[in-house]
Amino acid sequence: MNLGAIRQRLSGGGFHPFALRTSDGREYAVRHPEMILVAPRSLALVDRDGEIVTLDPLHIVAIKNLRSKTNGATPR
């Protein structure tokens, strides 16, 4: 996966939650831009257990849009 595409998701016109899928089938949700750090050759993110995971971009095979969490209010 191109790290530029992930950087674009973080800074290009407003953030929308997404998930990264890796070559071993794991999926990591990025619900807030402060939960991920993109470096020149790798990235680190906080997983659902609060642990920091470092990923090699060569093993990221897909980016999936996630629904934004709401506070229970009905959309208008």
Q: How many CB atoms lie within 10 A of CB 60?
A: 19
Tell me what pLDDT residue 59 has: 94
Tell me what pLDDT residue 71 has: 61
Tell me what pLDDT residue 67 has: 85
Distance CA 75, CA 53 (A): 34
Structure tokens belonging to residue 45: 């993110």
pTM: 0.81
CATH of 3-65, one of 3.40.50.740, 1.10.620.20, 3.40.50.720, 2.30.30.100: 2.30.30.100
Tell me what pLDDT residue 2 has: 86
- Closest-CA residue to 55 (of 43, 64, 63, 46): 43
The string over 41-56, giving b where at least 16 C-beta atoms fall within 10 Å of a residue's C-beta and e elsewhere, is eebebbeeeeeeeebe
Tell me the domain boundaries of the chain.
3-65
pLDDT block averages, 10 residues each, the chain of length 76: 88 89 95 93 93 95 85 55
For tokens 């990235």, what's the residue? Answer: 43
